[in-house]
Chains A and B, each alone.
Chain A
Amino acid sequence: MIVLEKRPQASQLWSLATPVVAVLATMVFGGLLFALLGTQPVEAIRTIFWDPLFGEFAFYYRPQLLVKGAPLVLIAIGLSLGFKAGIWNIGAEGQYIIGALTGAGVGLAFYPLEAWYIFPLMVIAGALGGWAWAMIPGVLKVRFGTNEILVSLMLVYVAEQLLASMSLGLLKNPQGFGFPGSRNLNEYESANSWINQNAGLHWGVVAATIAVIFAYVLLNRHMLGFHIRLTGDAPRAARFAGVSPGRLVLFCLGASGMLAGLAGLFEVAGPAGQVSIDFNTGYGFTAIIVAFLGRLHPIGILLAGLLMALTYIGGEIAQSQMGLPAAAIQVFQGMLLFFLLALDLLTNYRIRLKSREVA
């Protein structure tokens, strides 16, 4: 009989090897799927994993990895703090939207004034917007004991309605002939988050990098990080250690909301350029997967975010080059996640064969 035996310590070797094994396994099974759909499996796999990084047009795709990965990493870092402490913010999508709305709103209010302080003000507004939206479930939880999963999720839908309403009303481009959507911030020098567009660099990429470092330091070197981990592992012990659960809830939700809001602001002021009805594309939900794929570890999240971005970009190439349906790419991504999650087992457990009598 096969028995799982918990390792006394997580295996260093396997924690590095499992992602590789998982990707290989996905290639095999994904290849089978593609073959079933009548495409060249080897070429499809190469298109998804190889072309964006080393293919003919890698000079274009590599920077795009940053554009696609930055919001995922930024949001996932924030979420991971709360997840570690057992605080479930699954409404990052809503905080992302509100951050974009408040940030873009401030920028558009200054239009057409050009001044150095506009972008910093937008950043602050975006952060505050996301923070405030996350404070709603936070305060309700602390004050009334309301479940934050439900409230944060419901607020995503409310934020989507606000977004539609803003795109059609208050933030609508006055020179847009009545069409929905705001002015394009890429055409407004002072309110633009691009640093170097060809390199895929915008302030969101910078912020994501800082967030990774900050989270790493916080979790490993700081008392607050210790409290977060302790609360997640042993809530009772945490209380004895003097952790105030309410303040921790507010901090974790606030921090994740703030980072999600920032991600929204940087996206709207750069890659997306404008507030529109369909501005949000699910980063807030995908980031939850990224956070767990990265095992809630800042460096892991960074790598997981880039891997997700790679499959998105590679998937698009495979669609147009090889005629694969978008659905096949989704299934493929699902497989990759399954293998990454399942094989993680080997990091923490040893597989042993045991004779039956003992069990």
Chain B
Amino acid sequence: MTILRRTLLAGAAAVTALGMATAAGAQDDKTKVGFVFVGPVGDGGWTYEHNQGRLAVEEEFGDQVETVFVENVAEGPDSERVMTQMALNGADLIFTTSFGYMDPTINVAKKFPNVKFEHATGYKTAENVSTYSARFYEGRAIQGLIAGSMTESNIIGYIGSFPIPEVIRGINSAYIQAKKVNPDVQFKIVWVYTWFDPAKEADAAKVLIEQGADVVLQHTDSTAPQAAAQNAGGVYTFGQASDMYEYAPEPRISSIIDNWAPYYIERTKAVMDGTWESVSRWDGIGAGMVGIGEITSAVPDDVKAAALEMKEKIASGEMHPFTGPLKKQDGSDWLAEGETADDGTLAGMNFYVEGIEGEIPQ
């Protein structure tokens, strides 16, 4: 907010001024990194982990960076305004961390060609817009293996948020591996139609347990299902988004952790060095974006060994969780023997694989 900058901009008309403001902001020697969060940083899940990534950036670069964030930003016009505001105030790099920010990110990026944008989980890129997402399904495969081995009742419960490709992919991936180690396994899937409602998640977990599930997987972010499993006793769960280690060693026997820190540090560095380019990054276990939380003592050694072996194989690229022969739920062929799924199909996955019961709500 220097006087100089204000006079530079005084009277400037809207559109032209937008570009100039960026130039003015870039004069700062500190690299300014903005984060737009869809939830509160205290949600203990999705946004919490993104914020951990932000803190890692601060830790890594110290005085060289300044990070700013706005939490609880609604998708749509509010997010567009927050991004514009960050860009106006001299941000060099902005991470927009929700799928619904996709079109707003593209819109704002058009107005600020000198600012770099990174949009999480979307598919639209531009000269100055990258996308990044994590291959959580790789972690799901490991969960499936452990879950299939651990279940006594052969019923695995699955709490889904909304029936979108991301969630469906996870269900399929877990199911395929669970079926491999336990041909009798059955998945019970409950859709709660919310991203965040701890009470409803707790209800869903209880219902699944009451109907015989002794392993519960969740694609919602709260620890409510963990607590429900603990109360029921003899039920296993996995941490989601964050480690949820407070529920180890039982019911939480492992977890999938979103680890955005390496990517955020790498991209910030690229902006500092002037080497930033638009990319579409979809990283998994290998690159460290998907972490597998400690497998606890509740899991027998042989199962743990198998899980860790799978983790190694996935990390090295030796194994792909979706490898044929695989059929779709309706019995039609999907992948031939040895064939692996292409990223396009995975990204838009809207079908169950053979063996899963029930329909995907539309």
Contacts and interface: CB of A to CB of B under 8 A. Distances in A.
B103 A184 contact: yes
Interface of A: 56-57, 59-61, 63-64, 67-68, 161, 164-165, 168-169, 177-181, 184, 186, 198-199, 267, 271-274, 276-279, 281, 312-313, 316-317, 319-321, 323, 325-327
Interface string B329-362: 0000000000000001001111000000000011
Given A59-B17, A198-B15, A281-B78, A179 B68 contact: no
A226 to B, nearest CB: 38
B70 A319 contact: yes
Given A177-B347, A320-B68, A64 B17 contact: no
15 contacts: A57-B89, A59-B13, A59-B14, A61-B85, A64-B81, A177-B123, A177-B344, A178-B350, A272-B77, A278-B100, A281-B74, A281-B78, A316-B73, A323-B68, A326-B40
Contact of B81 (A59, A164, A313, A325): A313
Contacts of B40: 326-327
A326 B1 CA distance: 23
Which of B74, B76, B84, B348 has the most CB atoms of chain A within a 10 A radius of its CB?
B76
Given A64-B81, A179-B99, A59 B12 contact: yes
Nearest to A57: B88
A179 B164 contact: yes
B286 interface: no
A316 B21 contact: no
Which of B13, B122, B164 has the most CB atoms of chain A within a 10 A radius of its CB?
B164
B25 to A, nearest CB: 11
A117 B349 CA distance: 37
Contacts of B41: 325
Contacts of B77: 67-68, 267, 271-272
In this complex, the interface size class of chain B, counting residues with CB under 8 Å from chain A, is 35 or more
Given A180-B162, A278-B75, A320 B123 contact: no
B324 to A, nearest CB: 21
A179 B165 contact: yes
B344 A169 contact: no
A321 B88 CA distance: 11
Nearest to B76: A272
B76 A168 contact: no
A277 B162 contact: yes
Interface in B251-273: none
B293 to A, nearest CB: 28
Contacts of B349: 178
